[in-house]
Structure 1
C-alpha cells in the first residue's frame, strides 16, 4: 500500500504529544486501534539528514495506527516533526491539517479527519518499458530526480513519444502520469513526500519551478531516469520556440557521442573479387569437393573449368564488362557455374527464379536491362572456343564492380533492383569467418531461391571458405522429411534457414532416429520466436550446435547483426538480433535522421561494409534511402525498419515503419500487390491488407485484397498470378462497392467486410477423400470442395507441409510436395495418391 509523508521544522522544546492524544480520541473515539502515539528520537547532528530521509521513507504498518508521528530532536538544536500515512486512509491534504493541529495553528474540533477516503493512482500491473533497464531485486524502491522545469506534462509526452516512435498527440503511455494535485502547497512544511513508492513506474510531480521525477527502480534504473530528465529539460526549453517536428530530443553534442565508432571494415590483405577469391581456392585445392547435386559431386577445379567455358561462351554472345546477365536456371551445378561465369566475364548476374510468373520475369529482365538471359547452358558451352587461355577474366575489373542485382518488392508495382559489389560479399565472409569457424571441412546447403539474398550467403559462404555446397532441389526443399534425410546423408554442418522453414525441420527432427551433423544454424529473413527452440536444444546441445539469429537486408548485403541464441534466450523469449558484424554499423534515428538515445525506438540505419551501391535505374529512390550521415562521416542505408539499441550495443528489431512486411522470409510491399491489381482492366480501386502474426505463425499470414470493379472479378486473382509470385498472391479477392475511408481520407480497415470464403461443396465419398477434405479444412480454416484449389483457398508452402504432417499423424499414405503442387484439388490428389 502506498504511503505519503511530510516533515516540518519545530523548536527543540516542542512537545505535540498531549495535543495528539486528545485530538485522535476526538476524531476516532470508537477506533482505539487507529490512535497513533508520538515517538521521540534523539539524533546526533552528523546523522540528522540521513535519519530524516529514512523516517520520511519508512512505511507505516498496515492495519495499525492511521498515521505515524515521530519527533526527531537533533543534538545541535532544532527538531523535525515527521508524519507518515497510508494513501488509502488519509489524503495528503488531511495529513497537513493534522500537522497544523499538532503545531497549535488550529483546534482539533475544527478539523474533519475521515479515514479511508483517498484512492491513490494505480499504475499498470506489469508495464513494459523498453527504453529503460529495471533493477532486479529493487522491490518497491523509488528513485527521485529533480528536473529544473516548471511544468512536466507537455514536454514529458513529447519525450516519451520520441522514445517510443509514436504520435505525441496520444498523450502519456499507461505507465506514466503527471500528478497535478498531491496536496496544496504550504510553506510550513520543509519536506513533502507525495508517495514513498511511486504508484506509476514514471510519475512526475510539479513543485513550482521544478518537477520531481519519481521512478520505480524495478522498471526504470537510475541512469535511464537521469537521461530522461536531461531530455525533458532540453525539450522543455524548445517548446513554444520551434515547431514540434523540429524540436530536438537530445543536444547535438550528445547525439554525436551516441554515434557508433567508425566501422573497422574487414578486408583481406589483397582486395579481391568473388571470382578471383574462388580461383584462389581452386588453385590451392583443385580436387577438393565444391558442389554436390543429385548424387554427383563436382570439384573446385572442375567447377572453375566449367565456369570459364561458360564465361567464354558469354563473351562470344556479346557480354562485356559492366553488363548485366539474367540467370534463369533451376538450382543445380549449372546455376552456380553460370553465376561464376558471369562474374568472370566482368558482368553482374541477375537471378531469376523459374518458379516466378513469366510476366514478372520479363519485367525483371527489362528493369535490369540485361544483355541476355541464360535459360540453358548448352548454347554457351558450345560457343566457347577450346583453344582460349584458361583464365580470360579482364584485368581492369575491381572489387567495387557490381557482382549481382537482386530485386525486392517495390511499392509502385515495380520491383527494385539492388546493386551489390564484390567487395561487400568478401567483407561479409571476412566478418563471420573467424566467429563462425568457417573452414574447408564444412558442408553447407543451397536451400533458398537464387532470387532471395540468403542464397548469396549460402553459395559464396561455402565456396569462398573452401567448403562443400549441397544443392537442395526445389521439391526436396518443400518436404521437411526429404530435407532432413538429405542433411543426414550428406553430413551437413552449416545450415541456413528462415525461422518458418526451420520450424518444419524441427518437427521432423524430433521424431527422427538418425541424428544430424549440423554444428551451425544461421536463422534470418524474418522475426524469430525463440520460445519453441527449447526442444531443439534438448536434442542438439549448445556446445555441439550453435544457433545464430541474424538480422539483414538485401541493401546491406544479406546480414547486419548476429546473436547467438541459447537456452537462456529461449526461456526469456528474447527478440534481440544481436550486435553489428565487424565492419557494419547500426544506429536508431528519428524521422529527421537525428540519433536517438539508448533504448529509444527509431528507424534502423545501417552503415559500413555492407551498404549496396544503390537501386538500379532509380536515382531518386537511391538518394532517398542511401544517405550521407548529417552527424558524421559515412554513407548509411535507411532501412525503414523500426528498432532500438540496448546499452550493450545489441539491436532489437521491432518490425517495419511503413507497410512493408516479411512473409515466409520474403520482403513484400502491399502497395506492389495493389499496383498489380490496378492493372487489371476491370479494377478501378484496390486495397491490400494483411492479417495474422508473422512472429507467432508465419504460415497463418493472409494477404487479402479488396477491389472496386466495373466488371466480373472472377478472374482478377488469376490475372494477378501472371505477375505475382506465390508468396505475394492474395489469399482472397473480395469485391466491394466502395473502399471505406477514414475522415482523413485513409483506408478504414475496420469497416472492410470479412474476406469472401469459398462456398462449401459436398465432397465425394471415399476414405482418402474424406480425410483430405478434413485435413484441408482444419489447416486452412475454410470449407473445402472436391475441386477447390488448395492454393486458391489460401494454401502456401508452409501449409502444404502441415498437410503432409497431419496425414502422416493419422496413419494415411505419405504425401509428396510435388504431388500436392501438381494435383492441388482434393479430387485430383486423392486419385494421384491412390495410384502411387
Structure 2
C-alpha cells in the first residue's frame, strides 16, 4: 500500500527533527497500516539515525549490490559521509552510475543547506547545450540577404520554376515594384499581408516585396480549405491578401489583390522611403495547429533568419554554385530554410510544383534534370524518394540532404547509403520547431547511426542553446529524459494575439533572454548531444506538420450531429509515412441519418475546415466513449476503427489491352493493401482513408509490377479503380496492329 506524505524540508532543521516529523505523520495519518508501517519504519528510522546521528558507526547493508543500482551511505569517524555506488554493469554503465551518485549527493547537500534556494531551469547546476558558443556575425533584415547578391551578381539565376527563370537583378526589381504597389494600398511597417499563392516565382517575389514594404507576410496554402484560409486572414488581421484564388463567399471583407495588379498599378519605386525598421521587427507569421481548436500564428523576427543561415554557413558550406529545391508548402516553415537558404547564399532555388512533389519518380526527374545539390526532406517524403531512387539513375549532383519536420528513424537511410556513400552525399538530421525558426540542432547521420537506430539530433547550432528540464523547470543531468527548452538567436517573438499562451510557452531567463518550451521529450547523451524522444503532449507529427489532436476534436465537436468525440493517432513510429488519425464520435440524439450517412456528412464538414493531412483517416460511430475510473478516455477500450462502408461490386472487365493483364484486379489488390480495407470498382479511394502518401505508396507498387506511370493529378481527378483504368487507357492507348 502506498501513502504519499509531504514534508517541508526548507529551513535549518536537524535530521532528528525531520525524523520526528515523519514518525508523527505516520501515527496521525495512516493508522490503518500501523502494523506494516511499524516494521518498515523501525528499520528505516534505524538507518537514518545510524547515518545522520552516529558518525562513529559504519553501516554496511549488503555484501553485494542487490539492485541494478545500489547506493550505500558510509559515515566515517569525524562525521564525514561518503556515498558508495554499486552498479550491475549489464544494466548501468559506470559513468552513468557515477553521475547518478553525484546528483544524489548534491540533493542531500541541498537538504542540509540552512538557506536553500530554488533553482529554476537556468540555475548553475546544468549548463545548457551550446552555452558559451557565440553565434556567427549575423543580423539584419531578410531582404538585405537578397539585395547583396542582386548588386554583386545581377545576372545570376535566382529562381527557377519549370521554364520560367528569374535572375537576382530581376527578382530585386520586381519585388521593389510590387512593394511600391503594396505601399500605394496603405501597407507599411507593422502591417501583415496574407500571401495565398501556389508554388511559383510570383510567390517568392511577393514574399520579398512584403518584407521590403516593412510589413510581415502570412503564408497560406492554396490547397487548404477555404474556411481555414479565411480564418487565418481574419485572425492575423491582415491588411490585404495577395492571391489569385477565388473563394465562394469571398474573404470575409478582407481586401484581395493579384500579383499582376500590384505591379501594374505601382507608382515610381524611387518615391518610397525604404527605411522600414530594424531586424527585430516581425518578418513572417506561420500558422500551426492549435490545441484550442483553431490554428495559432507564430511571429518570427527578421534577425532569426540571417542568424540561422550564418549558423550553418561553415558547417554546410553553401555557395553560389549550389542549387536548392523548394519541395515544401509555403505554409510549412521548412520552406523558410529552403527559400532563404538558397537566396541568402547566392544559389539557385528550384521550385517543385505541388503535383510533382506528390510523385517520387517525377520529383526524382526534376532533381536530376536541375542538378539539385541541396535537398530538404521530411522523413516521410524521403522514404518514398529513396524507394524510387533504387530503380533510377543515381543523382550525380546531390551533395547534401537535410531532414527536418519530424522524427527520423536512422534505419531508413541504410539503403540510401548503399548507393550514396557518406563521402559523396551528406545526410544531416536537424531538430527544430516553428517557434525556434525551423532548425535548432544538426547531426550528420552515418551508417553507424542507421545500424544502431539511435535517435540523435546532435548539437545546437551556434547561437542556439538547449536544456532538458523536468516538469517543474529544473535542469536534468545527462541521461535523464525531460522537456526540451530552446533559447538563443531563433526564438520567436511569441504567438500572435495569444498573450496567455505566449507567457506559458516562452519563459524568461537571466539577462532578459527568452526560452521556448517545446513540449518535446528528450535527453542529453553522455557525449553532450541531444536525443529526441517524441512528444510530451497530444501533438503528433504527420508528414512534417505538427498536429494538435485537440484541434481535430474541436472541429468534430462543432458539428451539430456530434455529441462527443475522441481522436487518436494510428500507425507505426518506425513508418512516419503511415502515421494518420482515427476519430470516434457519439452521434447526437437528433441525428436521423443512417450510420453511413452520418459518417459521410461528418467527413464532408471536417474537410471544409481542416487541411488534408489533418482529416481523420477513419470516423467510427460508437454508442459511448469508454472512460477510465478517473473519467478520462480509455484508449485501450476503443474498438478497432471502422473504414467507410463499401459495396462489394465485382471488378468489371476493361476494354483494350489493359484487360489482358487484369489491370483492374491488380489495382484493386494494390489499393486494398495500401488502405487495409476492401475496395470496390467505383469507391472514392480518398474517402476510404487514402491521402497523398497512400497514393505515393500505390504508385510505387504499380511501378514494381510493371504498370504504366499514373500522373498524380489524374488520380485526384479520377480517384477510383475505374477512373484509374480509364486514365491509363487514355494515356496509353493500344498500339495498332502492324
TM range (shorter): 0.7 to 0.9
The answer to whether residue 386 in structure 2 is matched with residue 495 in structure 1 is: no
Tell me the distance in 1 between the aligned counterparts of 2:670 and 2:44.
Answer: 57
User: In structure 2, the residue corresponding to 1:312 is in which secondary structure?
Assistant: helix
Summarize the alignment of residues 206-285 of structure 1 with structure 2, pairs less than 5 Å apart.
213-217=85-89, 219-233=91-105, 235=107, 255=125, 257=127, 261-262=131-132, 264-268=134-138, 271-285=139-153
Deviation of the 1:204 alpha carbon: 5.0
Summarize the alignment of residues 558-637 of structure 1 with structure 2, pairs less than 5 Å apart.
558-629=438-509, 634-637=513-516
Deviation of the 1:342 alpha carbon: 0.6
**Residues 257/299 of structure 1: CA separation in 2 closer, same or farther (3 Å cut):** closer
Tell me the distance in 2 between the aligned counterparts of 1:272 and 1:441.
Answer: 24
Between the two proteins, the alignment pairs up a number of residues equal to 649
Q: 2:584 aligns with which of 706, 730, 744?
A: 706
**Residues 529/256 of structure 1: CA separation in 2 closer, same or farther (3 Å cut):** closer
Q: 2:605 aligns with which of 719, 726, 732?
A: 719
Summarize the alignment of residues 635-784 of structure 1 with structure 2, pairs less than 5 Å apart.
635-693=514-572, 695-710=573-588, 711=591, 712=593, 713-714=598-599, 715-760=601-646, 761-766=648-653, 767-784=662-679
Tell me the distance in 2 between the aligned counterparts of 1:691 and 1:251.
Answer: 34
Are the equivalent residues in 1 in contact too, given 2:381–2:577 (CA < 8 A)? no
Structure with bigger gyration radius:
1
Tell me the distance in 1 between the aligned counterparts of 2:514 and 2:121.
Answer: 22
**Residues 222/484 of structure 1: CA separation in 2 closer, same or farther (3 Å cut):** same
- Partner deviation per Cα, 1:648-679 (whole Å, 9 max, x = no partner): 32110111111111111000000000011111
Q: 1:813 aligns with which of 697, 708, 715?
A: 708
Deviation of the 1:682 alpha carbon: 1.2
In structure 1, what is the equivalent of residue 339 of structure 2?
459
Q: TM-score, normalised by structure 2?
A: 0.83
Tell me the distance in 1 between the aligned counterparts of 2:311 and 2:280.
Answer: 18
Structure 1 runs, 4 residues or longer, greater than 4 Å off: 189-196, 204-212, 233-241, 246-254, 256-260
In structure 1, what is the equivalent of residue 262 of structure 2?
380
Tell me the distance in 2 between the aligned counterparts of 1:697 and 1:341.
Answer: 40
CA RMSD of aligned residues (A): 3.1
Tell me the distance in 2 between the aligned counterparts of 1:223 and 1:633.
Answer: 36
Tell me the distance in 2 between the aligned counterparts of 1:806 and 1:776.
Answer: 9
Tell me the distance in 2 between the aligned counterparts of 1:253 and 1:758.
Answer: 54
- Partner deviation per Cα, 1:408-463 (whole Å, 9 max, x = no partner): 00011111100001100000000001110111010000110000000000000000
Deviation of the 1:253 alpha carbon: 6.7
Select between 601-610 and 744-753 the one with higher mean Cα deviation.
744-753
Are the equivalent residues in 2 in contact too, given 1:258–1:597 (CA < 8 A)? no
Gaps of 5+ in 1: 1-147, 156-177
User: In structure 1, the residue corresponding to 2:217 is in which secondary structure?
Assistant: strand
Tell me the distance in 2 between the aligned counterparts of 1:622 and 1:288.
Answer: 42
Tell me the distance in 1 between the aligned counterparts of 2:539 and 2:429.
Answer: 21
Deviation of the 1:207 alpha carbon: 8.5
**Residues 371/810 of structure 1: CA separation in 2 closer, same or farther (3 Å cut):** same
Tell me the distance in 2 between the aligned counterparts of 1:642 and 1:250.
Answer: 18
- Partner deviation per Cα, 1:171-219 (whole Å, 9 max, x = no partner): xxxxxxx999xxxx9xxx99979566x5653245688999854202354
Deviation of the 1:250 alpha carbon: 10
In structure 1, what is the equivalent of residue 735 of structure 2?
none
**Residues 205/397 of structure 1: CA separation in 2 closer, same or farther (3 Å cut):** closer
In structure 1, what is the equivalent of residue 255 of structure 2?
none
Are the equivalent residues in 2 in contact too, given 1:235–1:247 (CA < 8 A)? no
User: In structure 2, the residue corresponding to 1:551 is in which secondary structure?
Assistant: coil
Q: TM-score, normalised by structure 1?
A: 0.73
**Residues 238/441 of structure 1: CA separation in 2 closer, same or farther (3 Å cut):** closer
Deviation of the 1:576 alpha carbon: 0.3
Are the equivalent residues in 1 in contact too, given 2:581–2:618 (CA < 8 A)? yes
More helix by share: 2
Deviation of the 1:764 alpha carbon: 2.7
Are the equivalent residues in 2 in contact too, given 1:309–1:381 (CA < 8 A)? yes
**Residues 252/443 of structure 1: CA separation in 2 closer, same or farther (3 Å cut):** closer
Are the equivalent residues in 1 in contact too, given 2:568–2:581 (CA < 8 A)? yes
Structure with more relative contact order (C-alpha pairs < 8 Å, separation 6 or more):
2
**Residues 207/607 of structure 1: CA separation in 2 closer, same or farther (3 Å cut):** closer
- Partner deviation per Cα, 1:79-126 (whole Å, 9 max, x = no partner): xxxxxxxxxxxxxxxxxxxxxxxxxxxxxxxxxxxxxxxxxxxxxxxx
**Residues 399/250 of structure 1: CA separation in 2 closer, same or farther (3 Å cut):** closer
